[in-house]
Amino acid sequence: MRLDVALIRAHPGLSRRKAREVIEKGQVTVDGATALDAGHPVTGAERIEWNPNRPARRRARSSLPLLHEDAQILVVDKPAGLLSVPSSPDAPDEDTVLARVRDYVRHLRPRQPYVGLVHRLDRDTSGALAFALDPETREALRTLFRHHRIERTYLALVAGSPRGERGEVDLPLRDEYAGGRRGVAGAGEAARPALTRWRVVERFPGAALLEVELGTGRQHQIRVHLAHVGLPVLGDDVYGQDARRPVAVRRQMLHARRLGLAHPGTGQNVTVESPLPPDFAKALAALRAKARR
């Protein structure tokens, strides 16, 4: 059930509106961890406590849509075109997701404005991006990422016709970049293991919508692996520049759709989904319209 419903069951005098209000004020904890989302799912077995005397948290408005927020983890909906982090140490004032999240947390928690980077998305990839709000949570989340215990599901519009309905690419990526590009490692090259799984969601003439899951999290992994098997991401000017494009797009059609993890503080599953951005939805609609002709 939803957290606000569970709170009302424990405190029958609360209205639905009041329950949501005290949760958003930061006065409710679930198994000792502050919960800020009235829709947070609970089973009823958790220890849910409301302290009306706890000072309400500061109000602040994020410049990015929030997919999840609690006292330890923040997940934002990253738009395409915005860097996750500065492009270099010499560009601290660059507009990035990290800078915007830090600004939000600084206003929300001026005494504890810590924001820890956990993972990244490429500039032109949209979707769910998580941050830790204390050093211990950052280390716990980075450990989950290192051991591949984070669910990371992407949607990709690709050029070409997949052979079969699902597949995987288990090929190491070379450590070195050549002309700003990574690639599948050749014999003797320094490399790291990389595993990408995909399945067909929808087919179109000369294109397909794939759901992609990461078994590892190497930079550019999905783009390199899919291009290597003849299914380059539409709009990818680095790894799919020679691919025929059945519809016009202005950026790579790769979207971090779903992020799931066991919360380091509570052990509860946290799963968020990022809605399709307008440009991705428009490209998908164009492909469907073309398929009907």
Instruction: List residues with catalytic annotation.
Output: 122
CB-facing half-sphere around the CA of 54: CA atoms within 13 A? 14
SS (H, E, C) the chain: CEHHHHHHHHCCCCCHHHHHHHHHCCCEEECCEEECCCCCECCCCCCEEECCCCCCCCCCCCCCCEEEEECCEEEEEECCCCECCCCCCCCCCCCEHHHHHHHHHHHHCCCCCCCEECCCCCCCCEEEEEEECCHHHHHHHHHHHHCCCCEEEEEEEEECCCCCCEEEEECCEECCCECCECCECCCCCCEECCEEEEEEEEEECCEEEEEEEECCCCCCHHHHHHHHCCCCECCCCCCCCCCCCCCCCCCCCEEEEEEEEECCCCCCEEEEECCCCHHHHHHHHHHHHHHHC
